[in-house]
Copies of this chain bind each other. A is one copy, B any other.
């Protein structure tokens, strides 16, 4: 059974209150960096794997994409996405991204924002994406950073008085399932090393164009907990191209 935590009513309700849910892309700390990695969307066929509320689909459509397919396993997410998206070029499909089947060389731009760490098996998915991409096509994604996923709890290590001491890393080379706590709820995520993330792309013949560990943007620095985000890498952004 593929992870579908976002159809859990309690979890979804909490997720709906996050800045990135209320404000969209502007509320996502990594957006400014991710945006820089995105290609020109004009006339392009765009695929968004784990599209959630559809913010990136809407963005691609606004920037002139010819066709956008947003895929997500969560019905609740897709309901919000459909309600929010007015563009006729955007289409949503309910599916686990691992089960998706698309024509070969039919996609100009494959996107995925913070969804691959819910996928148990990365290599077969990347192999599919490579097949779907047209030559010259772009693959841009964000994931939780291997430093952030290795230990499992995704929480800081505190002293007796509850002050942050540092961020713990452990079991780095033992890839696989982790029980993290996200928004106070248990969530299954999958840890993989940086080597696995990047070697899998390179092994498929993709060319790595950019690798960015986004820092918190200056204007968000006074939000609760944001200054601590200078102390650990939480996300990894990658842009690759099919030659």
Query: Is A170 on the interface with B (CB-CB < 8 A)?
Result: yes
A195: nearest residue on chain B (CB-CB)? B213
Query: Is A158 on the interface with B (CB-CB < 8 A)?
Result: no
State which residues 189-227 of A face B: CB under 8 Å: 193-195, 198-199, 202, 207-213, 215
Which one, A24-32, A64-72, A171-179, is touching chain B? A171-179
Number of interface residues of A (CB under 8 A): 31
Q: In the bound complex, do residue A194 and residue B213 qualify as a contact, i.e. CB atoms below 8 Å apart?
A: yes
Q: In the bound complex, do residue B210 and residue A207 qualify as a contact, i.e. CB atoms below 8 Å apart?
A: no
Q: In the bound complex, do residue A232 and residue B168 qualify as a contact, i.e. CB atoms below 8 Å apart?
A: no
CA–CA, A194 to B211, complex, Å? Answer: 8
The interface residues of chain B lying within 8 Å CB-to-CB of A174 are 230
Query: Is A122 on the interface with B (CB-CB < 8 A)?
Result: no
Q: In the bound complex, do residue B202 and residue A232 qualify as a contact, i.e. CB atoms below 8 Å apart?
A: no
A203: nearest residue on chain B (CB-CB)? B210
Our pick among B168, B194, B207, B215 for the contact of A166 (Cβ within 8 Å) is B168
Looking at chain A's contact residues, the main secondary structure is mixed
Our pick among B165, B173, B202, B232 for the contact of A172 (Cβ within 8 Å) is B232
Q: In the bound complex, do residue A165 and residue B167 qualify as a contact, i.e. CB atoms below 8 Å apart?
A: no
State which residues 147-164 of A face B: CB under 8 Å: 147, 151, 157
Q: In the bound complex, do residue B233 and residue A211 qualify as a contact, i.e. CB atoms below 8 Å apart?
A: no
Query: Is A115 on the interface with B (CB-CB < 8 A)?
Result: no
A33: nearest residue on chain B (CB-CB)? B195
State which residues 29-81 of A face B: CB under 8 Å: none
Our pick among B170, B207, B230 for the contact of A171 (Cβ within 8 Å) is B230
Query: Is A114 on the interface with B (CB-CB < 8 A)?
Result: no
The interface residues of chain B lying within 8 Å CB-to-CB of A209 are 202
CA–CA, A107 to B76, complex, Å? Answer: 57
The interface residues of chain B lying within 8 Å CB-to-CB of A210 are 199, 202
A170 to chain B, nearest CB (A): 4
CA–CA, A199 to B233, complex, Å? Answer: 16
A173 to chain B, nearest CB (A): 5
| 6 nearest A-B residue pairs (beta carbon) | A166-B168, A166-B170, A173-B230, A195-B213, A198-B211, A167-B169
